[in-house]
Structure 1
């Protein structure tokens, strides 16, 4: 699938139509489930998720109907996490860093500047590091599928000026997701982090509650943050993904052969979405520049040093424990801190 702006727009247009058709016959489904997420319809995750849900319905002969609720339609991230735990929604995709409000060690993949590139990310998340995190998630009575979806390397945007070094983050009012790791990292930078759910990011930037935020390029584009942010600094300060979570009771209500069909198509979609995001990232920088953003590439050495000097790495090594930290360092191929 070649992903470009036209593909995404067409994909977005197709989603509500297909969903409406499917929902109209939902009463005939044996398992009529909801999948919620926080991303716009145009994001590759929703395009690929729709493909997966259509394939699941077809291969199960209509027994499983999963309707997608994108773009925080069912609430903010923290609300939807509560809903997937209670069964209010059956499926939900969430960043491991936000999931850490429930599963403390889930955020280990988001340590600042841990991953140099995608060459280290996928072997780690499909290997020992991902297996470790999934084991931690399962202890919280949630089901997590094997393949993590890509969100991307995160970049900092600002309305006040380019971020060229760690010094520019001092006193900077920045929106961060509701996660202890994000707050800790930007506190180490001596910023002024504000924990705000994604549903409120655009308005928070527009009204000046915060001066900036940080997100991968695909989200900066699809959420049109370029309308309220002038500067984009390519800091690559952390990699982030989305675990596909399921309510345990709803998951186990499906027969084993049906669960295998659902898991197979969702995991396949996750791998395809990774490729889509990579292809999209290759073009997004130019598109964001054409939408008025001034883009710079800071030297990250000062950022890494600031975190080390502030004790950030030592603190989180203590939080996760020696064994978990060793798995992380093995995965990224370097000593952190």
Structure 2
């Protein structure tokens, strides 16, 4: 009888110990599973050339994300218009065939007209004015509307696109010479209206077809940031650069919202922080390259003209009232309120 009791006690102790061990194992397994992130593959597409500041920044963005996520997020980059122009890429992101991109803000306006303010000639008086708006309360409000309207989330809109200038195959030095010139423009209403007011003949051509269009004489010039002009070798055909400073603009790093919602909270945070950090990195490279590229193009025989910009701004002014019907009443005044020149 005593032996049976001893056996029962021993069995009970063993079962209790096994139970504790099992609980410990389950707790450890639970902790391990919570710490592990599911693997996610993303794609990002843009029109920046391989050595452009924008592509270098995208590569930097990918490195940050993959490192901070411990490899749980991998991103495939499609630069240099491999998946089409800005519009093609943007439509792909909205439709879900492309996950991410950095389209021009003015192209994003196809889905939310308020974004036209970031690609309207002579809207901003400086890069500082631009960034105060894009990263301020007004910029956040516009980004939130894009999410509601198009199902696309803005991760960062601190990516400067570079101050835009004009370059031509024929002799163009000042505003008077703009009259009747066929100029390649993106499919952005504010550009088309603005350059009509400047006297040109706007021609919509996809960015990846611009070089051949210049060669064939379809257009006689284009407008672009200096790094885009240099990286895409437009200076080989166009030898007259006019420093019009007509647009200070941004690119918006965006992601399809459905794809974004497949990420964990930690992965979302990593993407957002990396997008802003990469934007700052891109801007540093951009500012360094602009001066460098200008000197290199001069060395390639490009003539550089710096006209008085007051007549350009005066010619473009009627556009603001006209565009108000597109982007909404009072938005222009809100943008002006961020300008230090208006204080």
Q: TM-score range by the shorter chain?
A: 0.7 to 0.9
- Displacement after TM superposition at 1:213 (Å): 0.2
- Displacement after TM superposition at 1:108 (Å): 0.8
Structure 2 partner of 1:52: 61
Structure 2 partner of 1:98: 107
Structure 1 partner of 2:238: 229
CA RMSD of aligned residues (A): 1.7
| 1:317 to 2:324 alignment | yes
Q: Deviations over 1:154-173 (max 9, x none)?
A: 000001112312x2211110
Q: Which structure 2 residues correspond to residues 326-337 of structure 1 after superposition, within 5 A?
A: 326-333=333-340
Q: SS of 1:213's equivalent?
A: strand
Q: Distance in 1 between matches of 2:81 and 2:119?
A: 22
Structure 2 partner of 1:268: 277
- Displacement after TM superposition at 1:145 (Å): 1.2
Structure 2 partner of 1:24: none
TM normalised by structure 2 equals: 0.85
Q: 1:143 aligns with which of 126, 134, 153?
A: 153
Structure 1 partner of 2:228: 219
Q: Is the 8 A contact 2:162 2:249 kept in 1?
A: yes
Structure 1 partner of 2:168: 158
Q: Distance in 2 between matches of 1:80 and 1:118?
A: 26
| 1:85 to 2:83 alignment | no
Q: Distance in 1 between matches of 2:194 and 2:171?
A: 20
Q: Distance in 1 between matches of 2:300 and 2:220?
A: 19
Q: 2:202 aligns with which of 193, 202, 207?
A: 193
Q: Distance in 1 between matches of 2:81 and 2:310?
A: 36
Q: SS of 1:236's equivalent?
A: strand
TM normalised by structure 1 equals: 0.86
Q: Is the 8 A contact 1:124 1:331 kept in 2?
A: yes
Q: Distance in 1 between matches of 2:166 and 2:83?
A: 27
Structure 2 partner of 1:204: 213
Q: Is the 8 A contact 2:122 2:316 kept in 1?
A: no
Structure 2 partner of 1:74: 83
- Displacement after TM superposition at 1:321 (Å): 2.3
Of stretches 181-190 and 244-253 in structure 1, the one that deviates more from structure 2 is: 181-190
- Displacement after TM superposition at 1:110 (Å): 2.2
Q: SS of 1:274's equivalent?
A: helix
- Displacement after TM superposition at 1:317 (Å): 2.6
Q: SS of 1:237's equivalent?
A: strand
Q: Distance in 1 between matches of 2:190 and 2:239?
A: 26
Q: Deviations over 1:270-318 (max 9, x none)?
A: 011111111111222111101121101011111111123xx21211133
Structure 2 partner of 1:245: 254
- Displacement after TM superposition at 1:334 (Å): 5.4
Q: 2:128 aligns with which of 119, 122, 139?
A: 119
Which segments of 5 or more consecutive residues in structure 2 lack a partner in the other structure?
1-36
Q: SS of 1:269's equivalent?
A: helix
Instruction: Report how many aligned residue pairs link the two structures.
Output: 305
Moved over 3 A (4+): none
Q: Is the 8 A contact 1:36 1:89 kept in 2?
A: yes
- Displacement after TM superposition at 1:176 (Å): 0.3
Q: 2:191 aligns with which of 182, 185, 188?
A: 182
